[in-house]
Structure 1
Amino acid sequence: MSNNLQKTNGPELGEPNFERFTVDAALLRELGERLVGKPHIALAELVKNSYDADATKVTIRFGKDSISVIDNGDGMSPLEFKNFWLRIGTTHKQASFRTERNRQVTGSKGVGRLSVQFLGDKVDIVSRSKDTGQAFSASVDWTGARQAGELVEAGALVRAAPNITSIDDQYGHGTVVTISLLKKVWYNTDLQELAKELWFLKPPSDLLNSENASEIPDVFDVTLDGVTESAEGTFTEQMNQALENWIAVIEGKLNDGRQGGPNEVKLTFRDGDSYPATFPTRSQALDKANFKIYIFKLSGKQTGGVQVGAAREYFKKFGGVHIYDNSFRLPFYGGDEQDWLQLEIAHSHRLNKSYLLPSNLQVQSGLNDLPTNSRIFGIVNISTSHERIAAGKDEIDKGRYLNVQVTRDRLIDNDAFEELQHSVRWAMDFYAMRSYERRQRTIASHRLDMPDTQEKVSEIREELFQISLSAPSELAQRLEAVSSHFEELEALEAQRKSAFEEERVLLAALATTGMAAIAMEHEMHKELTILNDIRRRLNEGGSVLNEPVLLETLNSWAERTANARKLFSPLMHESDREKRNSYNGKKLLAKIVDNSEVLLRGVHIVNAVPEGVKLPSATLAAWNAVFQNVLINAVNAMLEVEVRSIRCSGEFNDLGGAIYISDTGVGVRLKDSDDLFKPFIRRLEIPEERKALGMGGMGIGLTIVKMVADSVDCKVHFIEPHLGYKTTFKIEWSEL
């Protein structure tokens, strides 16, 4: 860079030819009306100014030809009004982006106040400062500035007001901004749009209604005055819209817990699907509590104009599960950072199994659906005064009741508090399991709803035919030639489908036998134990060969080994695997029951299938896969009942037939029992030791049943149980 460049100074203020910039009053419109674009946004800017002033209460009052925004914020002194409000483009909010209440300020450009001219031509301001106690009134007339044509001619008439000692006769400090000479009529839809701009500033109403609402972090309440009931309802509904976007709600209560009363939980999903449950207390140290918790899905499009990002921030600030003691909110509980239910810990440890729920309510990996604190909002109601009365003197002396610390911000960590944690967290785990189960059910149903290619081919052929009718002869011939190739495609598809069905049936048979092989391995382990015992006794010498006990053991060993081998008989011979026959239903069931004896031992099975029932043509391996899985499913359902009985029955006529298998187990819920035929869906949890033997519990047995049934043109479902039984399975077919 050259050192010879000369520095030139700009014109100085005192020079004769110096001219100032002038600002046309039209800039008021540019900075005001066109900056915000819509009246409801302009009004929202005033409310946000109240928020930035650390107000906790704001009233928007609609008069005959005016709108007033009244707040209990920090207020302004006359000097602050002159230096900040009247100076366009001030950036003091950028320098201090956090208020004394630790709020992040909503404005920073210094032009939002000009947007009020979008609402009306006159603005009157009354304010009293929290810091100085000074009060003033001011009036701004936008029409005068526009008539003068110069922005610098705009201003406000400011008067000291020492006689003003309160704002709106209720607040010691704050501000009132009144816009008059309004430019529009406000309708319900306008108020709804206004609420869309403000909802995220207001905590949930349940928090605001507590006795110590002023202690809620960042409390901010916006109310309307001077509007119809309908308009107020529209505004309030939109302000609470984020809380209406729940996907599930958990309600729970404990009554007479010290007397052994159980916890009761009801889980309801948005689609109306409901799951009730009861469970015992652990220590009987808590007598009474109730709670309601909403679960949210904060991804994808939210309803009611709620933005996902805003919703996430909202529940991060106000979410979690809050505890109220006789309507007094305990500040330590609730919010994203207060993890008293250890939900965040479960996520950080990637837990997928609940340590609270019994095995029959668990679903593999179900805890993956456990929500975090930032996806829930809930209220737990307790009464430490009631707990003290219910505890009695001895328990009080030992401190064994639910009580708050001296600081009244949290509960004493004792057995009673752990009982409260257990009650609420149990319900959360219950939700996670049911949610995961429902999600897997949906995924499975989507997999099964595959379109039929033959239908699509037929549609294409028909469309080609219609085109050929109006096409030139040469093109019509070519279309006909192309259409003829579809016949070859259909034939190939039929062959492929047939081969696929055969492979599917064989796969089902192999899977069934594979599960039986695990049971066989267990049996072989027992037989080897017996064999080793015999070897030991023989090696010890003596006349053991003549012992009746030894002979009985050998006979039992041989019989059990032979029975275990029967599990594999449907796959031992090629004809049983591949040859299709129309089997006699009664005889086939008897054979399958006999082959499955090692799995069904101890259960009384009645074969009442009529002699004339003929099953649809299929392989022995296929029918074994169907009935063996149904029978094992029935046996598992009877593990904890006294009467263990299965009855096989049937019916037939010229149009088709059916076989029924009924059991005395725990029963199924018929309204959604078809879901049990989908992969990995189960509502019955069997003991781990029985799972280890390959005797069900994986959620694929009934899936195999449906897969094979579909392949042999049969329908399977659960029906109203036959008299004397809890569950009835039906497989039916048509001869048409």
Structure 2
Amino acid sequence: MERLNYIVEDSTIAELLGVENFTNKESAILELVKNAYDAHARKVTVTIKPLMIVIQDDGIGMDREIIKNNWMHVGKSNKGYKESQIGDERILAGSKGIGRFALARLGAYVVVKSRKRHSQPLRWETDWNESTLSDASEEDFYGTYIEISMLRDRWTETGIAKLVDYLSVTYKDDKMAIEIVSETNIYNVSHYYEKPQLGKNFVTDIKLIYKSESNTLECLVISDEFRQEAEKYCKDIDLRLYKKTVNCVEELYDDREIDFSKKELKEFLERVGDFNANLFFSLKSSTTKDYESFLYKYDKLNKRYDKGVVLYRNAFSLSSYDGKKDWLGFGKRSRKSPAAATHPSGAWRVRENQISGMVNIDKKNNANLKDLSNRQGLDENEFFVLFVKIIDVGVAIFERYRQDIIRNINKKNNISKAPKPAIIQDIIKTPSKVKDLSPEDVKSLAIELSTIEKESKTNREEKRTTEERYRYDVRILNVLATSGLKATSIAHELQNDRNSVSVNYNYIVKALKEYDFWEELNSLEYTEKSHKNVPQLLERNRSISEKILVFMDTMLDEVEKQKFATKDLSISDIMKVIKSNWVRDYASLNIDLKIDEDLRFETAEDIFPVIFDNLILNSIQQNEHQNKIDIKIFIDKKGDYLDVTYSDNGQGLPPKFIHDPMRILAVHETSRKKGHGLGMWIVNNTVQMTGGTIKNIDGIDGFKIYLELGDKL
């Protein structure tokens, strides 16, 4: 047997692993800076000239054995996890054994001079077709000196400044100084996020600590966004500090993008490893109106962080996660839920340009977050997906906290109707009176006109805000409406076949009996196998047909136009119909109504099935394995509102909602893998549409919700 080895041309390796492997010239420089760091350099200097780049470090250097056995061995690395020199311990950045080909990305000709202590200085040079190694006796230095010529890129002063900016974001250690020298300037690279200052670089600091052993995420929010005046509108909220710890198994188990059993999810979350993050939130700017309306402390930050969220593995960021790429998917999240923070039921999401910061992982502790071979990114495997989801959980905690504050402050912005302008009304009735106005009347007229102008401006703004809100609501409801229209269309078609659907079973059984087949078909011989058991199959079809008829009647009944009209209604009668429809279809369901027979209320009939069908459906879905589901509904009139209490005897809310039950009202919040998270959002929207409000939700020892229904439709 003959053993064979691949033979690859040097120029091909340089092209594939160098020129084509590095996304840009800056990432290639970063790779060589990482090499200097791994060599325990205290300082690396990158000198960029029009025709040459020189990179020099004072690290440990290379001897002949290292150059021959490691440098020239593609894919082999002598770098482990952590390495110590006297007074200097570093977690090494390299491990793949191909980073040296960053040289090929920068230039077509390279000379490397290197010297290790107590060793002969060496000179290695290549044109990527042939490489040579020789002694360099004239060199009196320790470390590595690299000359790159026949450059592949044009370097201008602007481009060099861009490199400095790039390195300031991608390097965050203080063990090695980085100096960039151009023909006109010397730049010292400092870490962009080195000294973050609240109120200067951002208004809110979101600290996340993930502990893999317990699958818990700790979220600490430190905020300086709002003025002290805002406290009187947020009496139960600390505007400066907010803490919350969540279990990520409970938070993520129902996520439809994750395909794990609970046991598998827990195991994979442990294998993600511990990590932490510091995210910095701030608005790019705010209008004068928003500044006053929401009591912001700052209208603009002069030194605002705007580099995005950077993923660091120890001392360096990963090139593809340097803040330019929206790797955490903020854009996707905000497009999915574009509601403003003031939206009473929609979930506000932080925008991509509103957040910056650092996520910190470790080469060893987070070993399942694997580098791609070019060290330019991560393998976006199942662990990476979970890693991003964990951060998403922390960001969502902040979003709910901030939206709660904004909603409370916004209550003060409700428009109060200005008094009717008496003089203007008088002039409209009798225009000739304008010439008889006294100086005091003229002054009053000017005040009235000014008031009208302000009111008009406020109304325009309110209209814009309302349009934005309903544009968001309509997008979601259109999806449901389209599905409903399709179902209604099918129901109309089935209506023509109603007689056949309802009586076919009886006709078939009767015919089989007349032909003397029925007794034989019921015999043991013909009923042994379920898929050939004709009576059983017919019975099953009969049961399914009944359900189809119920579906058809329900669909056609619920879209009747008259149900949307406002009128004086008997609440007891409406609720009895809802009860009978559900109890008819679900044998396990018991609904107890406590409603005065004489209770009447001015509203539209469609409001009640929208609210109670969603609540009852939730009770059934959350307790599908329960033999008996008891639901109690109490409705009473208090002033201009209907006071409603709804409860069931089920398992209550899932653990992730127990301590924040009002969260279930937000759009897309669900505890079921295939749930859409719209049911309770629709309930909340409908209640608010009537001028009412959901007062409280309790998910311990069954599910309970307390709400008020108004008459504003």
TM class by shorter-chain length? 0.3 to 0.5
Q: What is the TM-score normalised by the length of structure 1?
A: 0.44
Between structure 1 and structure 2, the one with the greater Rg is 1
